[in-house]
Amino acid sequence: MNKKIFYIVFFLLFIANYSHLNANILENKKRLVKNSNYFSNYLSGSVSLQKNDSRKAYNFFENIENLGIYHSEFNLKYVETLVNNGKIEEAYLFIKKLDKSNQSLYPFNLILFVHDFKKERYSKLQSYISSPKQSYSDPLLLELYQNLGLWADLSNKNTKDLNRKINSSNSSFKNISLTQKILINLYLDNQKNIDINFSEISNKKELGRYNYFYLSYYLEKNNKDKINDIIKQNLEISSENLLFKQLFLDSRENKFYKIDNFYKRKNINHGLAELLYLFANFYQNYEQVQISNFYLNLSEYLNPNFLSNKILKVENLITLNNLEESEKEIKIIEKLGKEFNWYANLTRLRFLPNNNTDKQINLLENFLKNNEFFASEKYFELANFLRANKNYSKSIELYEKSIALKKDKRDHDWIYYYNLAISQERAGAWENAEKNFLQALKISPKQPEVLNYLAYSWLEKKINLDKAKEMLVEAVNLSKGRGYILDSLGWAYFLLKDFDKAEEILQTAYEKEPSEAVIYDHYGDVLWTNGKQIQARYVWQNAIKLKNIEQDLKESINKKIIFGLDDADKNKS
């Protein structure tokens, strides 16, 4: 009986332990599967970010959101992905789950600041940006936080010393300080300071956008005389700014129902949004497109009405090769007025391959027949596209139309004659090309590109060699020694049989421009002429390995490698 009881107890204990063992094995399997999913999603999300696909990255990271409690690198990637998908509220909630030491770091504290600014929790703002737990090696970032402090003061009605703070800031970016003065004084309705601020930007082409804010201010005041004065004074300097040009057209037709809603000066969110947009522009100029998008999305969160800002988003998306998303934004832009419609369709022509090119060109030409304003610039833009695509005869026609529509010749008009001359030279109309190169130099004599192109064309034709050399010496000095212009100068010395000087200059050009096949070709020629045949063949062999080398040049260099410089011409097929 005792034996029987023993076996029963043993059996029950075995079953219990076996079940527990199975449960542990099952739990371990689940954990392994879960860890495997974590790893897979994290890796896939990271790869998607590297490929600049924020949408895909978000889909992967969303599955492993709770990883953020343990993984600081994931925190940064996930928050960046959320913001670049316009999910600012989600980013805010995620950051709030992190410990305080993480919340005080960039970019988390910036997102908290922007979110609470919009929610009017102004008392918290200074805590996000004061005494940060990290030093900012990026001077732009330091500048940003200084300006966030100004907007925090403004939101908390600490306006007494604002202008003093702006004027006394040790900013390396004077234009940022100036734009902040403009936006803050617009908000405060300080007309005297507003007029002073705008007089400071009147000759700054890069700040042409801000004439829109000036116009909007007097539009609100219904001061039509002032509006007309601003347009007359700034039309030339702001003629490349879409926003200003569209406002000019709207003022003529007395319709502002779309563009005037972009920015409301008394809406403090719009002021901060403009600061963030400014930084999005800076980072785009520094070719940091993902960071630019990050700031642009924060700006859009604060002011979704400033639809023309989507132009920056379109440019970023095209750079990231996200053409599908860029087309969605273009469809919004093209409805904002005639200037934006032109921009949208020209952008489609230049960058979106699914469009019928001929049909798109016809569309743009028809647009120009029915719209007289800024037509010269538009013909020029379309001609540039055609020239880049080697349609030289059509580009010549449009360049000539563009020039004919210009009322007065100004210093920057040299580019019109220069581009026309390039198309004429490529089309074989050398006499016309030479005349227009000289006309470009007559308008603006110190343009290194024009000096180089004309002088090198003379070298190719073996004419005006001494004059070409003089022009190229000047072009090298003006360009501060650009490699391709040094190459032209070196080739001038070669043709003038000063081979030692030619080798010295061409070696410098070769070192400066390691991806230009023509420079390799010229440098190899002078090395061969100076008795350095082994070095010459080495340079030529490197030339034919370049990805961007044109086929006819490759064949020519191959013959030099096989037969040498002296006999290469004799063996032309």
pLDDT at 201: 83
pLDDT at 338: 92
> Per-residue pLDDT for 439 more than 80?
yes
**Domain edges within the chain:** 190-264, 514-573
> Per-residue pLDDT for 454 more than 80?
yes
pLDDT at 65: 57
pLDDT at 536: 97
DSSP state, 130?
Answer: S
pLDDT at 397: 97
pLDDT tens per residue across span 417-434: 999 999 999 999 999 999
With pLDDT > 90 as the criterion, what percentage of the chain qualifies?
Answer: 57
Q: What is the torsional sign of CA 498, 503, 509, 513?
A: positive
> Per-residue pLDDT for 175 more than 70?
yes
pLDDT tens per residue across span 510-566: 999 999 999 999 999 999 999 999 999 999 999 999 999 999 999 999 999 999 998
Residues in the chain: 573
Average pLDDT rounded to a whole number, residues 39-43: 62
Average pLDDT rounded to a whole number, residues 168-178: 78
> Per-residue pLDDT for 47 more than 60?
yes
pLDDT band at 32 (very low <50, low <70, confident <90, very high): very low
pLDDT at 248: 83
DSSP state, 241?
Answer: -
Please provide the average confidence, as pLDDT, over all residues in the chain.
86
DSSP output for 25-60: HHHHHHHHHHHHHHHHHHHHHHHHHHTT-HHHHHHH
Residues contacting residue 102 through CB under 8 Å, at least 6 positions apart: 72, 75, 95, 108
Determine if the pTM surpasses 0.85: no
> Per-residue pLDDT for 273 more than 90?
yes
How far is it between the farthest Cα atoms of the chain?
124
